[in-house]
Structure 1
Amino acid sequence: MSSIAKKIQEQQYEDQQQQQIHQTVVIRKAKISIGEVILLCALAIMVTFLGVKIVSNQAAIYETNKEIQQVEVSIDKQSKVNEDLKVQVDELSTYERIWKKAEELGFKLNKNNVKGVQ
């Protein structure tokens, strides 16, 4: 019986080895379907498109702000010129200057023709 027990023991040992071999041989891979690949590609394309769109919009906003600042600077310069011209008009329209210019041109003051206006 010892030989029968030995054979049984050897068979059990071989079965265990075969089971271990079968267990290590089986490797499962996660498969991605074609639909999932298409969806991932579409998502990547949309993300890329939106990124480019955002960058181009920011560039357009930057250019517009730059133009606005240039226009504001030119408006400030023109306002200064206008203020200087107003001061010059006020200086040139004083009564003394007008009277002096009238005398140079030969006009004389006639009190009968002058009326006071308030």
Structure 2
Amino acid sequence: MSSIAKKMQEQQYEDQHQQQTQTVVIRKAKISIGEVFLLCALAIMVAFMGVKIVSNQAAIYETNKEIQLVESKIDEQGKVNDDLKVQVAELSTYERIWKKAAALGFKLNKNNVKGVQ
């Protein structure tokens, strides 16, 4: 009978051991609905900010391009103005004015000329 008692005791021990191992349940962390909503909101915000940054960079690029075009036009107009100033200086010499006046029939009368200083 001792062998039967020993077998019973081993069987009870095995049952208890199986019950202990069965009661230990490992649960994986489940993501709640609120966390899913927050993660989606975060993903949308990151995507939105990325698009916003790229569009701002494109606008900055276009503005810089326009600024460079305007600056080049200003430089060209400055060159034209300088050329015109040189031309005015050449055309306003006294010799040229005297030649034009003589060609038009004007004569120099010393009585009508006054020196101004």
| Smaller-chain TM-score bracket | 0.7 to 0.9
- Measured on the aligned residues, the alpha-carbon RMSD in Å equals 1.8
1:2 deviates by: 3.3
Runs of 4+ in 1 over 6 A off after TM superposition: none
Q: Deviations over 1:59-79 (max 9, x none)?
A: 011001101100110110011
Corresponding residue for residue 5 of structure 1? 6
Q: Give runs of aligned pairs for residues 1-118 of structure 1, distance below 5 A.
A: 2-3=2-3, 4-20=5-21, 22=22, 26-118=25-117
Length-normalised TM-score, structure 2: 0.87
Length-normalised TM-score, structure 1: 0.86
> Whole-Å Cα distance in 2 between the matches of residues 41 and 6 of structure 1?
59
> Whole-Å Cα distance in 2 between the matches of residues 86 and 28 of structure 1?
89
1:52 deviates by: 0.8
> Whole-Å Cα distance in 2 between the matches of residues 12 and 39 of structure 1?
49
1:18 deviates by: 4.5
Q: Which runs of 5+ in 1 are unaligned?
A: none
Equivalent residue pairs, number: 116
Identity %: 77
